[in-house]
A and B are shown apart, each in its own frame.
Chain A
C-alpha cells in the first residue's frame, strides 16, 4: 500500500488562507505541482538545496501546512482535511532540524512521554513505550538525564525516541542531521536505518548531504518546488550535470572517480571509500599509462603566503579555569602552547568541550587573561606559569593593551552568525562594526567600506543594501553576517564552524570566499570545525584540541596519519585519508596532501610512474 501519495500538489506561502486564491499576480509556489508516492516500508531520501521546497513537503504530509491545491493522502487519510489530522499525526513522526527547539521537557523520559500523553496512552504503557523508544535509539542509559547536557547527536536521538514513542508508521527527518557534527550525523543515520529495517517504519529522509541519500532505497531530487529527478540513489547521484543545475554536489567518492576518469584513468563510478579503492585498484591493473595526464593543482600547503607579522599568534602555556573558586573548578585550557605564523589558513579541530572555543575567545580578549596571582592561586614558592599570548602586535598578558584596537585587528565570526543580525537594513548591520570602531568616520568612507565588504562576500551591493537582513535566504544572511565582521578588514579572521548548516554548494561558496579574503588582505584565517573533510580540503595546518590541551599541530596530512592523535582526540579522518588507507593495504601507497585535487593528482602520478599493471610488484616489495 502507498504510505504517502501526492497528486498535483501546489503550495504557496503567499496564497490567501481563506479563499486559497493563488491566481493573484506573482504568486511564488513553494511546491509547484508535485506528484509522488512512497510505499509502506520504503526508505526514501529527498535531496535539494536550501529553499527547494523539501521542508514544505514534510510539513504538508503532517498537516502542519495544508495544500493550496491538489490532494495528499497519508495512509489512506486525506491530509487536507482538518478532522483527519490527529489520526495522521499519530502515525507520522517528524524530527526537525534544531534539536533544542523540539524538546518540551528538561528530563529525557519526560520529553519522550509527551507524545503518548497527548494521545491518551495509559500510564503503565507510557513507561513501556519509553523503554522501547530509548532502546531503539540506544539511549537507555540517559533516561533520567537532563536534555540540555546531551551532545547534538544524542539530543536528536532523544527527539527520534520522542517520535517513536507514538509508534508511528512513517518517520520524516526534516534535515535532522544538518546541525550535527559528522559523528552525530552517523549516530542518527544508523538509528534511522535500523528502524527502517527492523521495525519496518517508512522513512522519508530530507537532507542535502548526498552521502546520506546513498543509504536509501530511492532518491528524489527537488528543485524550485518540483521533483526533477527520481530513481536509485546510485543512479541519481551520478548525474553530475543535472545535480549541478539543482545546486547539489556529487558524493566525494564519485567526484574522485570522475576526476580520475577525466585525466585518463578509467575508474568506475564509486559511492563509498571502499568501492572507490577497489575500483582504483582495478583501473590501475588495466590502465594504459600513456593516456594519463597529470593535472597541475596546488596542494593545501601552497596556500601559505608570506606577509608581515601582524597576523602572527604566539601562545605559551595558556590556562583557563571555569568556576575557579569552587570545588567544581575545571580546566578548560590546561597549558596550551602553539604558534600560528602569519599567512596560515589554520584549522582547529576537537570535540565539544575540548577547549577550542575557549581558546579562540582568548584571541580577541572576549575572555581576558586575569592577573596570574589571582587566577591560579599559586602557593608560595611555586613558580607562576609563564603565560605568553601575543596576537599580532598585541601582548594580551599586559593589562594596558588597547583591547578595542585588538578587536579591530582580530575579526571573530561565531557559529550561525546570521542569528546575530539585528539592524533594519543590510547596510546598517554591516556598518555596525565600523561605527563602533571609528566614530569619526565620514559617510563616504563608511559607504565605501560597506560596499567593499558586501561585494567581498559575493553579494550585489545595490541589490541588498536597503533590504532587511531578515528577508534574505539562509546563505545570504550568513554572507551579510560575515560582511559585518570583515568590514573593518581584520588582519586575523577567526571563524567558528563557518559552513555549519549550509547545503554542500553553500559550504563550498563560503570556503572559497574565505580563500579569496585570505589571498587579498586577510593575513591569517583560523577556522574551527568538526568536519574533517573541510579541514583537510582547506587548511595549511591543523591543531587538534583534546581535554584543554593541543595534542598535535601540523599539516592535515601528518595530523591525520597519526593514529594515536586521532584516537586520543576521538576524531574521524577525512574521506581521502580513509581511501588512501585502504589503498595502502592493497599495496598502493603514495604520499598526498589530503585535498581531493591532490589525491587525484597523486593517484594519477602513481598510475603513470608505477606503470599500469606492475604496481603490485613494487607495492608488494614495499610491504615486505
Chain B
C-alpha cells in the first residue's frame, strides 16, 4: 500500500536529483506549457524528446516511472475513450445507431491520450526525483514574492509538506480500517450505489476522527518543539543554484525560444 502512494521519492544521485527544486518546478511549468501549445504530433514529438532526455538523466528506472503513473492511467484511458465518441468530425469510420466514430475523433483521441500521458509522466519525474521537503521549499521560495502581499507562503508550504508526509500513513490506516470492517461482514463491492455510499461511513468516520486525533497530537508536538510561525525561523537546507541548474534553465529558454521562432516562421509545422 505504502509503495503506490503519490509522491514516492526514488533515491539516486543523478543530474536531475541534484538540480534545485525551483529549477525543476520551472522546467515542469515550461514543459506543460509546451505540451499545451503543441498542435500536432511533430510538436508532441519534441516534447517527448525533452521528456526522454530528462528521464534518462534522472536515472529512474522506466518501470518505477510507469508504476508511479499507474493510478492515473485509468482516468487517462477513460477521458480518451469518451472523446472517441463525442468529438465531432466529418469522415465517418463506423456508425451504429446514434454512436458515431469519425476519423477526426480517432486522431484527436490518440493525440489527447499522448498529450495527457506526457503530462503525467513529466510530473511524475518531478516527484520521483525531489523529496517532498525540497519540493515544498522550492514552492515556498518561488512564491516568496507573494509575502509582500501578506500571503502566508511559509504556512502554506508547511501545510503542504505535512500533508505529503501523512499520505502514506493515512493510506495505511484506510487499508487497516477497511479490513477490520470487512472482517465484521461489511461489503463494499456489491449492492446499489446508495448502499455502497452508505458502506463507506464505517470507514470514513474512524478515518476522520483518527486524522483529527493525529492533527491534535502533531500540533502539541510542534508547539513543544518551539514552532511559532516564521518570524525567527532559520532554514537548515538552503536552496542553491549550481551549474546544473544553469544548464537546465538554458535548455528551457532555448526550447521556448525555439518554439516561438518555429511558430512565427513555420506555422504549418507547430
Q: Chain A interface (Cβ within 8 Å of chain B)?
A: 59, 62, 64, 86, 89-90, 92-94, 96, 98, 100-107, 109-110, 113-123, 126-127, 130, 144, 146-148, 162-163, 166, 323, 326-328, 361, 364, 366, 404, 407-408, 410-412, 414-415, 417, 419-423, 432-433, 436-437, 470, 484-485, 488
Question: Cα distance A18–B9 when bound, in Å?
Answer: 47
Known contacts A104-B162, A104-B222, A118 near B228 by CB under 8 Å: yes
Q: Chain B interface (Cβ within 8 Å of chain A)?
A: 2-3, 9, 11, 63, 67, 131-133, 161-162, 164-165, 168-169, 173, 176-177, 179-187, 201-203, 205-206, 209-210, 213-214, 217-218, 220-228, 232-238
Known contacts A148-B168, A163-B225, A419-B206, A116 near B236 by CB under 8 Å: yes
Question: Cα distance A331–B39 when bound, in Å?
Answer: 48
Contacting residues, chain B, for A92 (C-beta < 8 A): 224
The answer to whether B184 and A484 touch across the interface, beta carbons within 8 angstroms, is yes
The answer to whether B202 and A432 touch across the interface, beta carbons within 8 angstroms, is yes
Contacting residues, chain A, for B202 (C-beta < 8 A): 420, 422-423, 432
8 A-B pairs with C-beta separation under 8 A? A89-B225, A103-B165, A105-B165, A118-B226, A123-B235, A412-B180, A419-B173, A422-B202
Known contacts A107-B133, A114-B225, A420-B177, A432 near B9 by CB under 8 Å: no
Name the one of B164, B165, B187, B224 contacting A64, with C-beta atoms under 8 angstroms: B224
Contacting residues, chain B, for A484 (C-beta < 8 A): 184
The answer to whether A120 and B209 touch across the interface, beta carbons within 8 angstroms, is no
Known contacts A98-B217, A422-B205, A126 near B184 by CB under 8 Å: no
Question: Cα distance A90–B228 when bound, in Å?
Answer: 12
Scoring A115, A117, A411, A433 by chain B CB atoms within 10 A of each residue's CB, the highest score goes to A117
Kindly report which residue of chain B lies nearest to residue A432, judged by CB atoms. B184
Scoring B205, B223, B236 by chain A CB atoms within 10 A of each residue's CB, the highest score goes to B236
Name the one of A130, A422, A433, A488 contacting B206, with C-beta atoms under 8 angstroms: A422
Name the one of B165, B201, B234 contacting A117, with C-beta atoms under 8 angstroms: B234
Q: List the 8 shortest-distance A-B pairs measured between CB atoms, nearest first.
A: A436-B185, A102-B221, A113-B236, A120-B232, A412-B183, A433-B184, A422-B205, A101-B217
Question: Cα distance A90–B132 when bound, in Å?
Answer: 27
Report the minimal beta-carbon distance from A413 to chain B, rounded to whole angstroms.
Answer: 8
The answer to whether A64 and B220 touch across the interface, beta carbons within 8 angstroms, is yes
The answer to whether A115 and B184 touch across the interface, beta carbons within 8 angstroms, is no
Question: Cα distance A119–B214 when bound, in Å?
Answer: 24
Known contacts A106-B131, A148-B2, A86 near B185 by CB under 8 Å: no
Contacting residues, chain A, for B185 (C-beta < 8 A): 404, 407-408, 433, 436-437, 488
The answer to whether A59 and B133 touch across the interface, beta carbons within 8 angstroms, is no
Name the one of B161, B173, B183 contacting A485, with C-beta atoms under 8 angstroms: B183
Report the minimal beta-carbon distance from A61 to chain B, rounded to whole angstroms.
Answer: 10
The answer to whether A106 and B236 touch across the interface, beta carbons within 8 angstroms, is no
Kindly report which residue of chain B lies nearest to residue A87, judged by CB atoms. B226
Name the one of A106, A408, A417 contacting B165, with C-beta atoms under 8 angstroms: A106
The answer to whether A122 and B131 touch across the interface, beta carbons within 8 angstroms, is no
Kindly report which residue of chain B lies nearest to residue A119, judged by CB atoms. B226
Known contacts A120-B233, A121-B234, A115 near B225 by CB under 8 Å: yes
The answer to whether B179 and A414 touch across the interface, beta carbons within 8 angstroms, is yes
Known: A109-B236, A115-B226, A166-B226. 14 other contacts (CB 8 A): A62-B224, A86-B226, A93-B224, A94-B221, A104-B221, A106-B9, A106-B161, A110-B131, A117-B235, A120-B232, A148-B2, A414-B179, A421-B206, A436-B185
Report the minimal beta-carbon distance from A127 to chain B, rounded to whole angstroms.
Answer: 7
Scoring B184, B213, B236 by chain A CB atoms within 10 A of each residue's CB, the highest score goes to B184
The answer to whether A327 and B186 touch across the interface, beta carbons within 8 angstroms, is no
Report the minimal beta-carbon distance from B176 to chain A, rounded to whole angstroms.
Answer: 6
The answer to whether A148 and B182 touch across the interface, beta carbons within 8 angstroms, is no
The answer to whether B179 and A366 touch across the interface, beta carbons within 8 angstroms, is yes
Question: Cα distance A114–B161 when bound, in Å?
Answer: 12
The answer to whether A366 and B183 touch across the interface, beta carbons within 8 angstroms, is yes
Kindly report which residue of chain B lies nearest to residue A121, judged by CB atoms. B234
Kindly report which residue of chain B lies nearest to residue A65, judged by CB atoms. B220
Report the minimal beta-carbon distance from B74 to chain A, rounded to whole angstroms.
Answer: 17
Question: Cα distance A366–B133 when bound, in Å?
Answer: 35
The answer to whether A162 and B225 touch across the interface, beta carbons within 8 angstroms, is yes
Question: Cα distance A542–B217 when bound, in Å?
Answer: 37
Contacting residues, chain A, for B162 (C-beta < 8 A): 104
The answer to whether A96 and B217 touch across the interface, beta carbons within 8 angstroms, is yes
Report the minimal beta-carbon distance from B228 to chain A, rounded to whole angstroms.
Answer: 7
Name the one of A62, A328, A419, A488 contacting B177, with C-beta atoms under 8 angstroms: A419
Scoring B168, B210, B214, B226 by chain A CB atoms within 10 A of each residue's CB, the highest score goes to B226
Scoring B162, B183, B214 by chain A CB atoms within 10 A of each residue's CB, the highest score goes to B183
Contacting residues, chain A, for B131 (C-beta < 8 A): 106-107, 110
Question: Cα distance A269–B59 when bound, in Å?
Answer: 63
Report the minimal beta-carbon distance from B230 to chain A, rounded to whole angstroms.
Answer: 10
Scoring A62, A122, A366 by chain B CB atoms within 10 A of each residue's CB, the highest score goes to A366
Kindly report which residue of chain B lies nearest to residue A165, judged by CB atoms. B225
Question: Cα distance A103–B236 when bound, in Å?
Answer: 16
The answer to whether B180 and A417 touch across the interface, beta carbons within 8 angstroms, is yes
Contacting residues, chain B, for A105 (C-beta < 8 A): 132-133, 161, 165
Contacting residues, chain A, for B233 (C-beta < 8 A): 117-118, 120
Contacting residues, chain A, for B225 (C-beta < 8 A): 89, 93, 114-115, 118, 162-163, 166
Contacting residues, chain A, for B213 (C-beta < 8 A): 101
Contacting residues, chain A, for B11 (C-beta < 8 A): 144
Report the minimal beta-carbon distance from A280 to chain B, rounded to whole angstroms.
Answer: 44
Contacting residues, chain A, for B168 (C-beta < 8 A): 148
Question: Cα distance A201–B2 when bound, in Å?
Answer: 37
Report the minimal beta-carbon distance from A100 to chain B, rounded to whole angstroms.
Answer: 6
Kindly report which residue of chain A lies nearest to residue B178, judged by CB atoms. A366
The answer to whether A407 and B182 touch across the interface, beta carbons within 8 angstroms, is yes
Name the one of B169, B184, B203, B214 contacting A436, with C-beta atoms under 8 angstroms: B184
Contacting residues, chain A, for B209 (C-beta < 8 A): 422, 470
Known contacts A90-B226, A110-B133, A364 near B9 by CB under 8 Å: no
The answer to whether A126 and B234 touch across the interface, beta carbons within 8 angstroms, is yes
Kindly report which residue of chain A lies nearest to residue B8, judged by CB atoms. A146
Name the one of A64, A86, A323, A410 contacting B3, with C-beta atoms under 8 angstroms: A323
Report the minimal beta-carbon distance from B129 to chain A, rounded to whole angstroms.
Answer: 14
Kindly report which residue of chain B lies nearest to residue A363, judged by CB atoms. B183
The answer to whether A123 and B234 touch across the interface, beta carbons within 8 angstroms, is yes
Report the minimal beta-carbon distance from A436 to chain B, rounded to whole angstroms.
Answer: 3
Contacting residues, chain B, for A113 (C-beta < 8 A): 236-237
Report the minimal beta-carbon distance from B158 to chain A, rounded to whole angstroms.
Answer: 8
Scoring B164, B168, B201 by chain A CB atoms within 10 A of each residue's CB, the highest score goes to B168
Contacting residues, chain B, for A96 (C-beta < 8 A): 217, 220-221
Scoring A64, A144, A146, A327 by chain B CB atoms within 10 A of each residue's CB, the highest score goes to A146
The answer to whether B236 and A127 touch across the interface, beta carbons within 8 angstroms, is yes
Contacting residues, chain B, for A127 (C-beta < 8 A): 236
Known contacts A90-B226, A470-B209, A420 near B181 by CB under 8 Å: yes
Kindly report which residue of chain A lies nearest to residue B213, judged by CB atoms. A101
Question: Cα distance A411–B184 when bound, in Å?
Answer: 7
The answer to whether A104 and B184 touch across the interface, beta carbons within 8 angstroms, is no
Known contacts A93-B224, A104-B222, A419-B210, A326 near B67 by CB under 8 Å: yes
Contacting residues, chain A, for B232 (C-beta < 8 A): 118-120
Question: Cα distance A484–B181 when bound, in Å?
Answer: 10
Contacting residues, chain A, for B161 (C-beta < 8 A): 104-106
Report the minimal beta-carbon distance from A382 to chain B, rounded to whole angstroms.
Answer: 25
The answer to whether A366 and B223 touch across the interface, beta carbons within 8 angstroms, is no
Question: Cα distance A101–B216 when bound, in Å?
Answer: 9
Contacting residues, chain B, for A166 (C-beta < 8 A): 225-226
Kindly report which residue of chain A lies nearest to residue B231, judged by CB atoms. A120
Question: Cα distance A617–B240 when bound, in Å?
Answer: 77
Contacting residues, chain A, for B238 (C-beta < 8 A): 123
Scoring A100, A323, A364, A366 by chain B CB atoms within 10 A of each residue's CB, the highest score goes to A100
